[in-house]
Structures are given as structure tokens and as C-alpha cells.
Structure 1
């Protein structure tokens, strides 16, 4: 497997998005705070300030060579699946990179890149597009996502395990939404889609799985 040695650009992405680094000796409370920061928009301002240009480059395909390296691939997934939502929040481009991010995930699962990642948080983020990208195989991908998260939780350090168990629950909740509607209704207004009556009722409740990633059973 070829590995790119000059990785300063993607290291900047990974160091920012994963303050935990690669050590499994992480305080559970701090780790939970990092997850909320990552997944609930807390990083928006800094992403806009530091990473808008590199997000444009990734969206344009300029950084595709990063995918030759497992960590470069992970950084591309972070940019296309996460940074794009911050840089273009409430706009169509926020979701326009989902198909490319999903392709990176699928290839990474088949070529050993995913398996080579050292931490549960790297693996969870690598898999995010499986649930985010809408499409006809969405339910099958969510089943895969749930299976991957179950394995991640089982292998996570014991103090961190409740966090990863909660992420299994979150993925199952996303699956219920896709079973009901075949898509993510919270995107309808941004994407110019007309909501059904059932979707309107769901949206009115505001109980979106992506906003409730750490609920306990």
C-alpha cells in the first residue's frame, strides 16, 4: 500500500478535528465534550476561518490524492462530510459532497484503510457518510453503519464505551427516520423539497437524531 509521506496539510485537519489524538488514554468527560463540539456545530466559526479554502479545494477534487493514505482519506472524509456543512451551512452545497464522501468510505472499507485506523473516534467519523448520504441503498448502508458502530463500541476502552453505545442508538434512530420518510426531512427546506404532511409533523417536533447523539437508553 502506498503511503504519502508529506502529510502536513491533512495533519492540520486531523489535529483540529480530533483533539484526542491517537492515544486511547482519554478522559471520558473530555471525550464527550469533543464529540458534542464535532457533531453539533460548535466548530463552525473556526472551520470558516481556517479551512474554507481547503474545503473548496477538496470539493473541486484538488486533494483527491490524499486518499492514497488511510489518514489522508480520513481527512478528506472530514472535509467533505463535515467541513462542507459548516462552510456552506443552510445551503445546497452543504450536502453536495455526500456522494463523493460515501465513495471514499466504501473504498476505505474494502482496501484496508478503515481497518488500519487506530482509534474508535477515527473509525466513527470515517463511517459517517454511510448514514448521511441519501439514496436508494440508504437502509442497507445504515445497517452496515450500525454493525460497524457495534464493533467499535465493543472494542472501545471501557470508560469510553457508553459514548459509543449512544452512537449505536443514534444510528438506529436515523434508520427509523429513513424507514419512515426515505430521506432526511430536516434538509427539505434547504434543498427546495416539499415536505409531506408526515414530515411536517416530524419537523415540528424538532427531535432530530443528529441533534441527539448522546442519549442513553
Structure 2
């Protein structure tokens, strides 16, 4: 049985993943620290301790009813696209939910749910699957991701705009990787796929876009 879209479990996910809440008056330095925490593994241990069960439920499709609400849709994307990477870190299953997360995110872009999200940080996270999910249309999706982030940066409060401009730059860096390789080479070992010589050289450098967020 799927859970109702107003299940408080999705509220718990959002409250955990967005400690800054919904106020656009958030201090810029505090907000930057929240992004570092989200994007550079600071939440890993807490995710595995608190959210392994609900992440497995999401992966099994048991929480699909959440998509009837914009916040519920966002919470489901967080479980599938973000928490899966902690719960199943180091295994191919960490990325197995990417297609489902992408479908949920893309639908949110067309049905008004993305536009209904009240903060730039909510919108950025709903858009993450566009860059994360590999596939033949990956480059087109990254172009869409860049356009979305440019809009987010332009609409963000002035004191937060440098943070969101840095996320535009990061998306452009991702585009360079996908344009060159058609996939994320840093996943090759975990997914058991061989690297091309060009990918091996890239991996040797170790300069990956997901590690460059907020760099000037």
C-alpha cells in the first residue's frame, strides 16, 4: 500500500535536508554552510541512521503517492537522488534510482510543482536528477539544468545570488564532462564498467564538478 501524499514522513525529510527552512532572509554564510553540508557528505551518517528505511520504501515505489503534492514530490526526489547515495554508498544501487528520480523531477517541471516551490534551494534540489541521471538525452537535460539555474540565480535574493551563480558554474562544468564522455566517469568503478583512456586521464586528475560547488 502506498502512503498518502500528506504523510508527515515527507515533512521530516524536508526539515532535515533544509535546516534553513523556507525563509529567504537566511544569512548568506549560514546558507552556504548548509549547501556544503548537503553536497559534500556532511549528512551521510545521519541519513544512513535515520532514513535508510524510508529510502528503501521510496526505491520500492511505496511512496509514489507523494508526487501529488509539490513538497511531497521534492521529498521523494531527495530520497531517490540524494539519500540513495548515502544508504547504498559504494554500490551500483546508489545510482539505480536515478531514472525514477528523473521522471519525477521532469514531471514536476511540466505540471506546475517546480514553479510552486517557494525557495531557490528547493528548486535546485528538484532539478538535480537532470544532471545526475545518465542516458542518451543527458546533454540536453544538462542544458535545461543550466537554464533553470540561471533563472534561479537571477530570481534569488540579492545577498544569496553569489551562491546560486556558483551553482550555475557547476552545472556548466558538468556539461563539459557529459559533452566529453557522455556519462559520469567517476562512477565507472562502482558500476563495473571500463574507463576509456580519456576517462582514465580525467579520473587521474580527480577534479570533478560535484566537488567544485561554491568555488570562485
TM-score surpassing 0.5? yes
Partner SS state of residue 203, structure 2: helix
What is the aligned partner in structure 1 of residue 92 from structure 2? Answer: 92
Partner of 1:152: 152
For residues 182 and 12 of structure 1, what CA distance do their matches in structure 2 show?
A: 36
CA-to-partner distance for each residue in 1:168-208, whole Å, 9 max, x for gaps?
A: 00000000000111100000000001001111110011100
In the TM superposition, what is the alpha-carbon distance from 1:5 to its structure 2 partner? 7.0
Q: CA RMSD in A?
A: 0.8
* Counterpart check, 1:122 vs 2:122: yes
SS at match of 2:96: coil
Q: Give the Cα–Cα distance (whole angstroms) in 2 for the partners of residues 90 and 64 of structure 1.
A: 26
SS of 1:95 mapped into structure 2: helix
Shift of residue 99 of structure 1?
A: 0.1
Unmatched runs of 5 consecutive residues or more in structure 2: none
- The corresponding residue for 1:81 is 81
Please give the alpha-carbon distance, in whole angstroms, between the structure 2 residues aligned to 1:7 and 1:126. Answer: 19
Q: Give the alignment's TM-score, normalised by structure 1.
A: 0.97
Kindly state the Cα deviation for residue 7 of structure 1 after the two structures are TM-superposed: 3.5
* 8 Å Cα contact 2:6/2:72 also seen in 1: no
Q: Note the C-alpha offset of 1:214.
A: 1.0
Matched with 2:21 is 21
**TM-score normalised per structure 2:** 0.97
**1:65 equivalenced with 2:65 (yes/no):** yes
1:150, 1:198 → 2: CA distance? 30
Aligned residue for 1:213, secondary structure, equals coil
The match for 2:6 is 6
Partners of 2:156 and 2:164 within 8 A in 1: yes
For 1:118, what is the secondary structure of its paired residue? Answer: coil
